[in-house]
Amino acid sequence: VNPEEYLADVLLRVQTHPNARIGELLPHEWKRLRAADSS
């Protein structure tokens, strides 16, 4: 995970991301979801 890319994306998403799904913003989940989105 590129730390700069990760932090920039998470700081934008955290404002509107549901609390119940906050685990999706952890680095390992973020990486998995980004890979799925780009497929």
Quote the domain boundaries for residue 10.
3-38
Mean of all residue pLDDT scores within the chain: 94
pLDDT at 38: 84
In this prediction the pTM is 0.78
Query: How far apart are alpha carbons 24 and 13 in whole angstroms?
Result: 10
pLDDT band for position 39 (50/70/90)? confident
CA 2 – CA 15 distance, rounded (Å): 21
Instruction: Give the model's pLDDT for residue 28.
Output: 96
Q: How many domains does the chain contain in total? A: 1
Instruction: Check whether 18 has a pLDDT greater than 80.
Output: yes
Distance separating alpha carbons of residues 39 and 13, to the nearest angstrom: 20
